[in-house]
């Protein structure tokens, strides 16, 4: 067997182990009994170590070198690039550190659920300190091996090839632009008729049925996936077994509805990745900004549009037995695009959402770099939030305890959300130019033209291209703020979308 073929076989096994881990993560978040947390931590640690050992086997570096000298097709060359990137990340970290980190994250994530519910940061701070200590060690090791700063070494895992210098100009421009735009958007909102309240309570069963109906409209295939409940919504599993979760509140149906549509965007991307390369790194998603662009494009660009809410309004009324002006399409549309600074990121409106990401980006860079200690996180969070949005969280449940990411060891992920929002706007603008009457199709609940365009321009390429290359291929231009700002202005100032 030649070197490249041997690597393909090895990575196929490696990625299958990753799929097993993903299903176990879903099980942990949805149905596992609390008493199983300790044994699950050991199981997850073992899976991590098995993947680490397989990836960093003594002959992997030699196989990569030999394969690089062979004549390969374009897809194979891209696959080799992705193999090498994964190897360099993994080989920089000792196996015992990988095992310790996996175990610590499993324990911390499990106890975070209780700490969040009880708004008790002190109860979880010790375990988070352990996670952060291990994150710093991993970041330093990877940074030295990859020639990156510690934080950028973590960022590179989620956004391959992206440096803080690529992000900071966009984020600094947003931080300068958002306060004025927020004032302008709120003033425009005040000048329009007030949004009529939609009275609950909203039965959870009805919410689930409505969510499933809208997921089917988007194109989610329930023969290859399912919808469940978890504390923090996510999309996991694998392309043939996609696991979406949401959470329900009886006083607000929109949060769950838009949440499942968001996760459906992730699911459509996973499902439509290149089948011929499914078992290889090149067949996987091209970083988390691209992944988030797919979920945000479906949720924010498409499903919060006036056109789609025109389609969804009768289904919403039927689901909850609503009647009267409050349940009409225009009121439901304006209800879904209300601009109101609030504490919870996943429920934030489009205009204030980037501020939530800016805060987390600044704090996690400081935590990884050692400029901020875990004990000081609540105060730093509250101060930063007040500075960005003029509000002080009343408790840590609505502050630094709200997101799962850090408690599960995911540092370097948060920039993907706003980078993804920027790309979502740029992709949607390109699709709108290319497709005849995209708005009309969304008004009929017909996502087939949009999903087909995304398949052709994003999904089918997997990780064949680097992220900047993919953005250029899909939209004809580098990533910028232009389409994002234009979208926000059209929707919130001009009331055109």
* Residues marked as catalytic: 263
SS3 242: strand
Output DSSP code: residue 305. S
Q: In the numeric block, which tokens belong to residue 381?
A: 């969070």
Helices 121-146 and 95-117, packing angle to 10 deg: 150
CA–CA distances in Å: residue 420 to residues 106, 424, 453: 27, 6, 18
Q: In the numeric block, which tokens belong to residue 51?
A: 């993947």
442 Cβ partners below 8 Å, 6+ apart? 302, 305, 307, 308, 311, 450
Query: What is the torsional sign of CA 234, 237, 242, 243?
Result: negative
Q: Which of 424, 484, 434 is nearest to 293 (CA)?
A: 424
Output DSSP code: residue 225. E
**Host H or E run for residue 422:** helix 415-434
Contact 424, 418 (CB under 8 A): no
Q: From CA 100, how far away is CA 44, in angstroms rounded?
A: 11
Output DSSP code: residue 249. B
Q: In the numeric block, which tokens belong to residue 373?
A: 């200690």
Q: From CA 350, how far away is CA 482, in angstroms rounded?
A: 15
- Cβ–Cβ contacts within 10 Å for residue 314, how many? 11
Q: From CA 471, how far away is CA 328, in angstroms rounded?
A: 38
The number of C-alpha atoms within 13 Å of 91 and in the hemisphere containing its C-beta is 16
Contact 65, 6 (CB under 8 A): no
Rg for the chain, CA atoms, rounded: 22
Helices 95-117 and 37-55, packing angle to 10 deg: 150
Contact 119, 397 (CB under 8 A): yes
Q: How deeply is 398 buried, as exposed, middle or buried, from its count of CB atoms within 10 A (0-12, 13-18, 19+)? A: middle
Contact 415, 361 (CB under 8 A): yes
């Amino acid at each position: 067997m030649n070197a490249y073929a041997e690597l393909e076989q090895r990575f196929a096994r490696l990625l299958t182990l990753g799929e097993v881990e993903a299903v176990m993560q879903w099980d942990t978040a949805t149905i596992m009994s609390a008493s199983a947390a300790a044994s699950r931590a050991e199981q997850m640690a073992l899976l991590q170590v098995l993947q680490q050992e397989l990836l960093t086997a003594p002959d992997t570096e030699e196989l990569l070198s030999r394969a690089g000298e062979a004549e390969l097709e374009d897809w194979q060359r891209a696959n080799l690039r992705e193999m090498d990137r994964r190897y360099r990340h993994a080989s920089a970290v000792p196996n015992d550190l990988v095992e310790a980190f996996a175990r610590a994250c499993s324990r911390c994530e499990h106890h975070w659920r209780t700490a969040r519910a009880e708004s008790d940061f002190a109860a979880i701070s010790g375990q988070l300190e352990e996670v952060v200590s291990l994150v710093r060690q991993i970041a330093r090791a990877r940074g030295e091996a990859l020639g990156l700063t510690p934080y950028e070494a973590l960022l590179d895992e989620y956004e391959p090839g992206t440096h803080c210098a690529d992000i900071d100009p966009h984020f600094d421009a947003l931080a300068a632009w958002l306060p004025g735009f927020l004032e302008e958007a709120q003033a425009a909102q005040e000048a329009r008729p007030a949004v009529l309240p939609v009275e609950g309570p909203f039965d959870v069963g009805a919410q689930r049925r409505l969510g499933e109906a809208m997921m089917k409209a988007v194109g989610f295939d329930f023969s290859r996936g399912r919808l469940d409940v978890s504390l923090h919504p996510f999309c996991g599993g694998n392309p043939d077994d996609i696991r979406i979760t949401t959470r329900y509140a009886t006083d607000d149906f929109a949060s769950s509805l838009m949440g499942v549509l968001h996760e459906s965007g992730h699911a459509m991307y996973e499902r439509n990745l290149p089948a011929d390369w499914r078992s290889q790194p090149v067949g996987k998603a091209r970083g988390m900004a691209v992944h988030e662009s797919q979920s945000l494009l479906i949720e924010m660009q498409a499903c919060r549009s006036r056109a789609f809410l025109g389609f969804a309004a009768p289904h919403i009324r039927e689901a909850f037995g609503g009647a009267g002006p409050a349940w009409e399409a225009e009121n439901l549309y304006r209800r879904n695009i209300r601009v109101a600074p609030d504490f919870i990121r996943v429920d934030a409106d489009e205009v204030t959402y980037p501020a939530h990401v800016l805060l987390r980006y600044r704090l996690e860079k400081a935590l990884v770099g050692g400029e901020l200690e875990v004990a000081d996180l609540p105060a730093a969070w509250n101060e930063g939030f007040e500075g960005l949005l003029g509000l002080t969280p009343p408790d840590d449940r609505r502050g630094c305890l709200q997101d799962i990411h850090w408690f599960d060891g995911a540092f370097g992920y948060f920039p993907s959300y706003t980078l993804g929002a920027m790309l979502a706007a740029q992709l949607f603008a390109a699709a709108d130019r290319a497709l005849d009457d995209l708005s009309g199709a969304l008004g009929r609940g017909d996502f087939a033209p949009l999903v087909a365009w995304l398949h052709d321009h994003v999904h089918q390429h997997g990780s064949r291209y680097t992220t900047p290359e993919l953005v250029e291929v899909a939209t004809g231009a580098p990533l910028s703020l232009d389409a994002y700002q234009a979208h926000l202005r059209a929707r919130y100032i001009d009331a055109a979308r």
